[in-house]
Structure 1
Amino acid sequence: MGHYLMNNNSPRHISLIPILEVDSNIQSRVRDIRNEDAVRKWMYTDHFISEDEHLAWLDQLRIDSKQRVFVVLNEDNNPLGAVSVNALDRRHRKSDWAFYLTSTSRGGMGAALEFAFIDFVFDTLALEKLNCEVLEGNDSVVKLHKKFGFVEEGFRRSNIIKEGRRIGVHLLGLLNCEWRTSRQAIYDKYKSRFDQFTFSISFNRE
């Protein structure tokens, strides 16, 4: 079992634990967050997720070696959201990723979480490329990713159906070498925000 720690003097400690390692109550509360209107609005699957569908998703995670989902927990062990690594490709050392937070846990935490998780992907997972997809209209998230060095690599026009209309998808990517070059400057720029939190990420390599 490995841990990644973002060291600072933060009064708030946030833990990222694999969703398959937390109890069923926390897993169920993650479904509640997935069903929040503000979360579903920007997901590919935006219908209300039933309990059976949520359980089937958890079962699929148990056999899917290319996807890892972490629950974001506060100091009181309450779930705040989730972070996922998707389409994990060990041969080419790349993956997609995404995260969502409950509406009461956004703002500075989202930026600090992104910084810590990028470190985890490039240090612990030893990947060379991190990709993400953002739905058209979610300009704040595109802007957030670009603050961390992500480059917009393309735009898939009219790619999915949301609320009865077709919308596009932004494609963004970040290279390990780019992160190494820009990491310190990014940390220095947003240090006051990052220092409000400490992150630990639990990860079993097997």
Structure 2
Amino acid sequence: MLRQVHDDDLPVMLRWRNHPKVRAASFTTHAIGEEEHAHWWAGVRADPSRRVLVYEHGGTACGVVTFSGLSPERPVASWGFYLDLDGLERSGGLISAWFGIERDAIDHAFGPLGLTTLRGEVLAGNRPVRLLHSRFGFEETGGYRRVIDGETVDVVTVEVTRASREERA
């Protein structure tokens, strides 16, 4: 289930985002400080083109979904996510949470957000997430090279449409 972020979620969201494995799979890999996190959150709250939601799995908050590029004139947006890796690994729920956050984010995109196309970007070396996206109907549409921490890496772009999801159903 996805829900709105509450202010008391912010410290745990920061902890999840700063997990070394989450940082390694992200375009921003440094440990984010409280001030930077607060500045980011203030920007999200003031920007109607962005949404950040908390993912709950089995009644426990354990992930974050971000949507960006939202516009009433254009039903296309981008998304990303991260999970509470430590908590989910301890509980044995990591795999089911991966599937759950992907499913709920897509459902939210094509339901309440009214999108027709959902896009994303994945580090080319992040094979597990690329396979997860493929399982949920995302197609790899291209790619580009990007510098992260002084190193040039390959990024894969992915996309799923409402129409392709309906065809698969």
Fold shared, TM-score > 0.5 on shorter chain? yes
Structure 2: runs of 5 or more not aligned? 89-93
1:31-46 to 2 correspondences below 5 Å:
31-46=14-29
Is it true that 1:159 corresponds to 2:146 in the alignment? Answer: yes
Match of 2:132 in 1: 144
Cα drift, residue 44 of structure 1: 1.1
| 2:83 equivalent to 1:96 | no
Residue 91 of structure 2 is matched in structure 1 by none
The structure whose residues are more often helix, as a share, is 2
Give structure 1 regions of 4+ aligned residues with deviation exceeding 4 angstroms.
Answer: none
- Alignment match of 1:122 (pick from 107, 110, 124): 110
**Is 1:174 the counterpart of 2:160 in the alignment?**
yes
Bigger radius of gyration among the two: 1
Cα contact 1:66–1:88 (8 A) shared by 2: yes
TM, length-normalised to structure 1 = 0.74
Per the alignment, in what secondary structure is the counterpart of residue 53 of structure 2? strand
2:7 maps to what in 1? Answer: 23
What is the count of residue pairs matched by the alignment?
163
> Hey, what's the Cα distance between the residues in 1 that align with 2:157 and 2:142?
5
Q: Deviations over 1:141-194 (max 9, x none)?
A: 0111011111110010x31224x3110110011111001111x3xxxxxxxxxx
Shift of the alpha carbon at 1:87?
1.4
CA distance in 2, matches of 1:169, 1:90: 28
Residue identity (%)? 29
The alignment partner of 2:114 has SS state of coil
How high is the TM-score relative to the length of structure 2?
0.89
Following the alignment from structure 2 to structure 1, what is the Cα–Cα distance between the partners of residues 7 and 56? 12
Q: Report the Cα offset of residue 75 of structure 1.
A: 5.4
